[in-house]
Structure 1
Amino acid sequence: MDSEQPTPPHKGRHRAHNRPARPHAVLLRLSDEEKTAIDVAAEAVALTPTGYAAKAAVAAASAGQASSEATGDLRELQHELFAARRAVVMFGNNVNQAAAAFNATGQLPDWAADAVRLCAAAVARLDEVISLIDRRLR
């Protein structure tokens, strides 16, 4: 008689192992529902639950770094927009002063042409920032 026991089916393939082995281990404590969710997800992609959890953790950590870089980019754009806003507010003040001077004397102040040139430069820079945001959103 043949006394061989049938081999249990594999629940998932093993990830490629590095040699020497990876030096760090992380212990996860999961509820029954969380463990079941990982088991189901791992089986769906033919990985062991440990392999699946490791890949998911590394992917989440990498996404966090990308998110941090994106936040830095947004902060840079925010500073540009603040600078453009400041320039527009300053131009508004210049227009009010120029209008007051014109009403009083009938002539525009000498500095009015410089103020208009600076405003045009601020609007051009604002257009660049808007284009940059548009390109990044595509």
Structure 2
Amino acid sequence: MSTEGNVSASGQARHREHLSPGRSHRIYPRLSNEEKALVAEAAWRAGLTPAGYTAQVVVGAARGKEPVTGLTGGLREIQRELFAARRAVNMFGSNVNQAAAAANSTGQLPGWAVEAVQLCAHAVARLDQVTALIDRRLR
């Protein structure tokens, strides 16, 4: 299993690499049940444990950086996201060609054309997120 990223192949959060010697200070935030659930959900999306997520967010905020998102890995994760977006755009292009052929022969767009456009919009939104992540990292 690769050590890059914080999510195992099963999708479970792994512990991030620990510093050696370990960090010497601890901070214990006190959270309500609702706040704890929100942190746990955000940590899961980021592929981190709640403690690791909390540490990254707090230190990042102290440094004036953006919060941790679901895209916390290195270049390999960003590359996977870009390949997925490329695949989605290629599939959309194929769907457009099929819809155009159907419209030319029947005079009507197929019913699935609307869903294809919605899927493309979702892929473009995800691509925007990846682009924003790259922009933040380059600053």
TM range, smaller chain: 0.3 to 0.5
Structure 2 length normalisation: TM-score?
Answer: 0.48
The two structures have a TM-score, normalised by structure 1, of 0.48
Structure with the higher fraction of residues in helix conformation: 1
